[in-house]
Chain A
Amino acid sequence: MFTRRHLIKAAGAGLALTGSGFGLRSPEAAAAPIDLPAALPEGVRSNAMLDALPGKKPLIKLTYRPPNYETPIEYFRTAITPNDAFFVRYHLSNIPEVDVKTWKIVVGGEGANGQAEFTLDDLKRLPAAERVAVNLCSGNRRGLFQPHVPGVQWSYGAMGCARWKGARLKDLLDKIGLKKEAIEIVFDGADSGITDKTPDFIKSIPTWKAIEDTTLVAYEMNGAPLPHLNGFPARVVVPGWTGVYWMKHVTSISAVTKPEGGFWMNPAYRIPLGKFPIVARFTSQETAVNTPITEIVVNSLITSPADGANVRMGPVVVGGIAWDGGYGISTVEVSSDGGKTWVAATLGEDLGRFAFRTFSYDFAPKAPGKQTVMARATNRIGQSQTTELIHNPAGYHHNVVHSVTFNVA
């Protein structure tokens, strides 16, 4: 029999082994400061901490409720982000644990010819599709904006890349049939606000995007059911587009003939017109001044050496990942002279055009001391990262060239 005494002994052993209590909550772990980029607001640098949500490794806690936890950079040294290290982002605090026995998705709307319901088993009976794709929060790196803008002050980790498996959204829509006037497909999930006056989190995408082969209603993530906090039992997966459209715990999918008008479509999640090199447009939602955020901008991140690391004199492998909105990465270049000259890095395995693409570059420091390296990704349609931040009020699309400084001794 497994008694409480055994449990405490086992836990005691675990605590002794892990020392700082990394695997278990302890007062020390909760108080442990983490080294976040100096460019972040002081309030988040002094307040953020490593904290483990249920079923998750310790992630960087920015807020408890709704939970906003980002993935530490070390988990991005591979192209696939583990489920238990995958970032968590919610807008609203009421997040029910979904019971699969009663959960279903209602598919219909005034832009459809009919209505249908899908249980998890129904979804699994549809032809399965798999896609490796980056889920990236629109506001990733918002905390690095200068001047700062309000919102969740993310640094680099509000993103992850997983192998998603599910039904194609178009197969669900085919069951009901769309009217030709259906311009948007609207998603709602099981989460909601605390008061009924808080706008429910509802998002739409253009019909053309919804019926692409790559858009899924996913029930598996890296070969396992979705973690609760990543959308169990099923979420929408919109490869190439930012995470805000990837509705978690999806319960309703509606075709509409008029633009969805809720708070989360407008004024939320908007970018100024004409500031970003965006190909994928969401014309039914555009105004004279702004448009919904759509596809992910080309970007990269150096994951090793870590910023501030000490490394031995000798060859240094500079490693990282690059991604974009689904055109595919063509090159990643590295500079060790402040951007004067750039050298092509070696690209790693290609897991598809929506995935993280790893890269590495063998850097030979000429002398000991501080070294700074930068990485710049370019995609197959010739888009590259910026050197100057494209400032915008909500803090989206930060793709300024990343650099790390480390000490060679």
Chain B
Amino acid sequence: MRALIIALAAAAIALPAAAQEQPVELKKAPGLDKVEGNCSGCHSLDYIMMNSPFPNAALWDAEVTKMIKAFGAPISDADAKAIADYLKQNYGS
């Protein structure tokens, strides 16, 4: 028991003083690589889970468009379509 406590404490201590972003595991499905590659540079991927599953297809299209047009995300047309399709399939209504 004592060994377990010390091991747990060591794990906790090993993390830096700053809270560290933990990996956000999205559903494994076609297009996930495009989501991770294009979206996670500017924001953590929990934004996607948080805004689910209520968006319909039009809303997910609008969100991807907003990231490109309003926020200047450098995403190719092909990747934008793959991302929107992934979101609709896995986090849509």
Contacts and interface: CB of A to CB of B under 8 A. Distances in A.
Interface string B1-38: 01001101111110101110110100000000000000
A11 B55 contact: no
A408 interface: no
A316 interface: no
A113 interface: no
Given A26-B12, A64-B21, A197 B50 contact: no
A198 interface: yes
A42 B51 CA distance: 9
B72 A43 contact: no
A43 B50 contact: yes
Interface string A47-77: 1100111101000011111100000000000
A199 B59 contact: no
Contact of B15 (A25, A41, A65, A152): A25
A306 interface: no
B80 to A, nearest CB: 15
A377 to B, nearest CB: 29
Given A41-B54, A150-B59, A62 B46 contact: yes
Contacts of A46: 49
Interface in A1-38: 7-9, 11-12, 14-16, 21, 24-27, 30
A25 B49 contact: no
A14 B12 CA distance: 11
Contacts of A53: 18-19
A391 B74 CA distance: 33
Contacts of A63: 43-44, 46-47, 50
A62 B42 contact: no
Nearest to B19: A53
Contact of B19 (A9, A54, A151, A198): A54
A147 interface: yes
Contacts of A41: 50-54
A346 B70 CA distance: 48
A331 interface: no
Main secondary structure of the interface of B (DSSP, over half): loop
Given A7-B13, A26-B8, A150 B43 contact: no
A24 B9 contact: yes
A34 to B, nearest CB: 14
A26 B13 CA distance: 9
A387 interface: no
The interface centre, meaning the residue of B2, B41, B44 with most chain A CB atoms within 10 A of its CB, is: B44
Nearest to B72: A197
A198 B73 CA distance: 7
Nearest to B5: A12
A65 B6 contact: no
Nearest to B93: A148
A53 B17 CA distance: 9
Contact of A30 (B22, B41, B48, B54): B22
Contacts of A26: 8, 11-12
Given A93-B42, A147-B54, A65 B21 contact: yes
Nearest to B52: A43
A341 interface: no
A177 interface: no
7 contacts: A21-B12, A26-B8, A27-B11, A43-B91, A47-B50, A66-B43, A153-B51
